[in-house]
Structure 1
Amino acid sequence: MYPPYTVACNGWVLKRFLRLLAEPLKKLSRWKMIPLGKISTSVPSQSFKLGQFTVDWQGSNTKKPSLRISHQSNEALPVLQTSPGESFVSGGNVRLNITEERGSIEIDERKYADFTHQIIDGIKQEDDTLEIYGRLLSSQSADDGLQYVLILQTVGSRELNFQLQITDGYVNQIQLQFVTSADEHFYGFGEQFSDIDCKGQWIPIVCEEGGIGRGDRAPKALNLLGVSGNRFSSYAPMPYFFTNKRRSIFLTNTEPTIFNLRDPQIATIRVVSSCMQGRILCGESPLDIIELYTNYVGRMPPLPDWLHSGAIIGMQGGTEFVRRVWSQLRDFDTPIAGFWLQDWVGQRRTIAGKQLWWNWQLDESTYPGWQQLVNDLAKAKIAVGVYVNPFLVERPLQPDQKQRHLYQEAIEQGFVVKNQAAKPYLIESTDFSAALLDVTNPDARKWFKSILKDEVLGKGAKFWMADFAEAAPFDGVYAADESGLLYHNEYPVDWVRLNREAIQEQNQEGDAWFFNRAGFLKTPSHSTSMWLGDQNTSWGKNDGITSALKGMISGGLSGLSINHSDIGGYTSIANPILEAIGVGFKRSRELLYRWMEMNAFTPIFRTHEGNQPDKNVQFYTDKHTFTTFSYWSKVYAALAPYRRELMTEAAIKGYPLVRHLVLHYPDDPHVYKLEDQFLLGREFLVAPVLKPGQKSLNVYFPAGEWTHLWSGNTYGSLTTGIRQKVPAPLGQPAVFYRKGSKAIESVLENFKTKNILTGAPSA
Structure 2
Amino acid sequence: MKAPWQSSYPVTYPQYTIACNGWVLKRLLRLLTEPFKKLSSWKLIPVGKISTSVPSQSFKLGEFTIDWQGSDTKQPSLQIIHQSNSTKIIWQTSPGCSFVSGGDVRLTIIEERGSIEIDEQKHANFSDQIVEGIKQENDTLEIYGRLVGRQSSSDQPQYVLKLRTVGSKELDFQLQIIDGNVNETQLQFTTSPDEHFYGFGEQFSDIDCKGQWIPIVCEEGGIGRGDRGPRTLNLLGVAGNRFSSYAPVPYFFTNKGRAIFLTNTEPSIFNLRDPQIATIRVSSSCMQGRIFCGETPLDIIELYTNYVGRMPPLPHWLHQGAIVGMQGGTALVRQVWSKLRELDTPIAGFWLQDWVGQRRTIAGKQLWWNWQLDETAYPGWQQLVSDLAEAKIAVGVYVNPFLVDRPLKSNPQQRNLYTEALQQGFVVKKNQAEPYLIESTDFSAALLDLTNPDARKWFKNVLKEEVLGQGAKFWMADFAEAAPFEGVYAGDESGLVYHNQYPVDWVALNREAIQEAGKEGDAWFFNRAGFWQTPSHSTCMWLGDQNTTWGINDGIVSAVKGAISGGLSGFSINHSDIGGYTSIANPILEAIGIGFRRSRELLYRWMELNAFTPVFRTHEGNQPDKNVQFYTDEDSLKTFSYWAKVYAALAGYRQQLMIEAATKGYPIIRHLILHYPDDPNVYKLEEQFLLGSEFLVAPVLKPGKKTANVYFPAGEWVHLWSGNTYGNVTTGIKQTVPAPLGQPPVFYRQGSKVAQSVLEALKAKNIVIRNS
Please classify the TM superposition score into its range, dividing by the shorter chain length.
over 0.9
Following superposition of structure 1 onto structure 2, how do residues 679-758 of structure 1 map, counting pairs within 5 Å? 679-758=690-769
Provide the rounded CA distance (Å) in 2 between the counterparts of 1:566 and 1:446: 31
Q: What is the identity percentage for the equivalent residue pairs of Structure 1 and Structure 2? A: 80
Provide the rounded CA distance (Å) in 1 between the counterparts of 2:491 and 2:407: 32
The question of 1:567 aligning with 2:602 is answered no
Following superposition of structure 1 onto structure 2, how do residues 475-554 of structure 1 map, counting pairs within 5 Å? 475-554=486-565
Q: What is the Cα deviation at residue 23 of structure 1? A: 3.8
Q: What is the Cα deviation at residue 444 of structure 1? A: 0.4
The question of 1:351 aligning with 2:378 is answered no
Q: 1:459 is matched with which residue?
A: 470
Provide the rounded CA distance (Å) in 2 between the counterparts of 1:362 and 1:262: 51
Closer/same/farther in 2, CA of residues 31 and 229 from structure 1, 3 Å limit? farther
The question of 1:662 aligning with 2:673 is answered yes
Provide the rounded CA distance (Å) in 2 between the counterparts of 1:233 and 1:290: 23
Following superposition of structure 1 onto structure 2, how do residues 44-83 of structure 1 map, counting pairs within 5 Å? 44-83=55-94
Provide the rounded CA distance (Å) in 2 between the counterparts of 1:399 and 1:198: 53
Q: What is the Cα deviation at residue 580 of structure 1? A: 1.3
The question of 1:405 aligning with 2:416 is answered yes
Q: What is the Cα deviation at residue 73 of structure 1? A: 1.6
Provide the rounded CA distance (Å) in 2 between the counterparts of 1:147 and 1:13: 41
Q: 2:102 is matched with which residue?
A: 91
Q: What is the Cα deviation at residue 126 of structure 1? A: 1.2
Answer whether contact 1:392 1:406 (CA < 8 A) is retained: yes
Candidates 439, 446, 457, aligned match of 1:446: 457
Candidates 127, 152, 171, aligned match of 1:141: 152
Answer whether contact 1:557 1:656 (CA < 8 A) is retained: yes
CA-based RMSD of the aligned residues comes to 1.2
Closer/same/farther in 2, CA of residues 144 and 351 from structure 1, 3 Å limit? closer
Answer whether contact 1:302 1:647 (CA < 8 A) is retained: yes
Closer/same/farther in 2, CA of residues 619 and 126 from structure 1, 3 Å limit? same
Provide the rounded CA distance (Å) in 1 between the counterparts of 2:347 and 2:20: 44
Q: 1:219 is matched with which residue?
A: 230
Closer/same/farther in 2, CA of residues 494 and 59 from structure 1, 3 Å limit? same
After the TM superposition, which of the residue ranges 32-41 and 539-548 deviates more from structure 2?
A: 32-41
Amino acid at match of 1:495: W
Provide the rounded CA distance (Å) in 1 between the counterparts of 2:496 and 2:634: 52
Amino acid at match of 2:317: W
Amino acid at match of 2:372: Q
Amino acid at match of 1:273: S
Provide the rounded CA distance (Å) in 2 between the counterparts of 1:171 and 1:17: 31
Q: What is the Cα deviation at residue 12 of structure 1? A: 7.1
The question of 1:557 aligning with 2:548 is answered no
Provide the rounded CA distance (Å) in 1 between the counterparts of 2:31 and 2:41: 14
Q: 1:257 is matched with which residue?
A: 268
Q: What is the Cα deviation at residue 420 of structure 1? A: 3.0
| CA distances 1:501-524 after superposition (whole Å, capped 9, x unpaired) | 000000000000000000001000
Answer whether contact 1:10 1:16 (CA < 8 A) is retained: no
Closer/same/farther in 2, CA of residues 299 and 328 from structure 1, 3 Å limit? same
| CA distances 1:209-231 after superposition (whole Å, capped 9, x unpaired) | 00000000001111122110000
Answer whether contact 1:300 1:524 (CA < 8 A) is retained: yes
Q: What is the Cα deviation at residue 597 of structure 1? A: 0.4
| CA distances 1:707-747 after superposition (whole Å, capped 9, x unpaired) | 00000011111100011110111000000000010123321
Provide the rounded CA distance (Å) in 2 between the counterparts of 1:509 and 1:244: 37
Provide the rounded CA distance (Å) in 2 between the counterparts of 1:558 and 1:573: 32
| CA distances 1:410-452 after superposition (whole Å, capped 9, x unpaired) | 0000000001353100001111100000011010001101110
Q: What is the Cα deviation at residue 748 of structure 1? A: 1.3
| CA distances 1:28-64 after superposition (whole Å, capped 9, x unpaired) | 6797120011000010111111111111000001000
Q: 1:341 is matched with which residue?
A: 352
The question of 1:614 aligning with 2:625 is answered yes
Answer whether contact 2:149 2:155 (CA < 8 A) is retained: no
Provide the rounded CA distance (Å) in 2 between the counterparts of 1:544 and 1:17: 26
Provide the rounded CA distance (Å) in 1 between the counterparts of 2:179 and 2:482: 33
Answer whether contact 1:422 1:477 (CA < 8 A) is retained: no
Amino acid at match of 1:689: V
Provide the rounded CA distance (Å) in 1 between the counterparts of 2:571 and 2:153: 49
Q: What is the Cα deviation at residue 178 of structure 1? A: 0.3
| CA distances 1:213-264 after superposition (whole Å, capped 9, x unpaired) | 0000001111122110000000000000000011100000000000000000
| CA distances 1:399-419 after superposition (whole Å, capped 9, x unpaired) | 345210110000000000001
Provide the rounded CA distance (Å) in 2 between the counterparts of 1:102 and 1:25: 27
SS at match of 2:754: coil
Provide the rounded CA distance (Å) in 2 between the counterparts of 1:504 and 1:36: 49
Answer whether contact 2:77 2:92 (CA < 8 A) is retained: yes
Provide the rounded CA distance (Å) in 2 between the counterparts of 1:309 and 1:557: 27
The question of 1:125 aligning with 2:136 is answered yes
Amino acid at match of 2:347: I
Answer whether contact 2:691 2:697 (CA < 8 A) is retained: yes
Provide the rounded CA distance (Å) in 1 between the counterparts of 2:270 and 2:564: 19
Provide the rounded CA distance (Å) in 2 between the counterparts of 1:744 and 1:724: 22
Q: What is the Cα deviation at residue 758 of structure 1? A: 3.0
The question of 1:170 aligning with 2:181 is answered yes
**Unpaired stretches in structure 1, ≥5 consecutive residues:** none
Answer whether contact 1:364 1:401 (CA < 8 A) is retained: no
Amino acid at match of 2:473: K
Provide the rounded CA distance (Å) in 2 between the counterparts of 1:314 and 1:326: 11
Provide the rounded CA distance (Å) in 2 between the counterparts of 1:392 and 1:29: 43
| CA distances 1:450-473 after superposition (whole Å, capped 9, x unpaired) | 110000000000000000001000
Q: What is the Cα deviation at residue 669 of structure 1? A: 0.1
SS at match of 1:743: helix
Candidates 602, 613, 616, aligned match of 1:605: 616
Q: What is the Cα deviation at residue 146 of structure 1? A: 1.1
Provide the rounded CA distance (Å) in 1 between the counterparts of 2:364 and 2:42: 36
Provide the rounded CA distance (Å) in 2 between the counterparts of 1:109 and 1:606: 41
Give the aligned length.
759
SS at match of 1:752: helix
Candidates 635, 639, 642, aligned match of 1:631: 642
Candidates 378, 391, 394, aligned match of 2:405: 394
Provide the rounded CA distance (Å) in 2 between the counterparts of 1:682 and 1:420: 53
Q: 1:180 is matched with which residue?
A: 191
Closer/same/farther in 2, CA of residues 198 and 149 from structure 1, 3 Å limit? same
SS at match of 1:142: coil
Q: What is the Cα deviation at residue 10 of structure 1? A: 6.3
Answer whether contact 2:354 2:397 (CA < 8 A) is retained: yes
Q: What is the Cα deviation at residue 535 of structure 1? A: 0.0
Q: What is the Cα deviation at residue 19 of structure 1? A: 4.4
| CA distances 1:611-641 after superposition (whole Å, capped 9, x unpaired) | 0001111000111100100000000000000
Provide the rounded CA distance (Å) in 2 between the counterparts of 1:83 and 1:113: 23
SS at match of 1:49: strand
**Unpaired stretches in structure 2, ≥5 consecutive residues:** 1-11
Provide the rounded CA distance (Å) in 2 between the counterparts of 1:463 and 1:9: 38
TM value normalised by structure 1? 0.98
After the TM superposition, which of the residue ranges 201-210 and 125-134 deviates more from structure 2?
A: 125-134
Provide the rounded CA distance (Å) in 2 between the counterparts of 1:749 and 1:358: 46
Provide the rounded CA distance (Å) in 1 between the counterparts of 2:520 and 2:511: 8
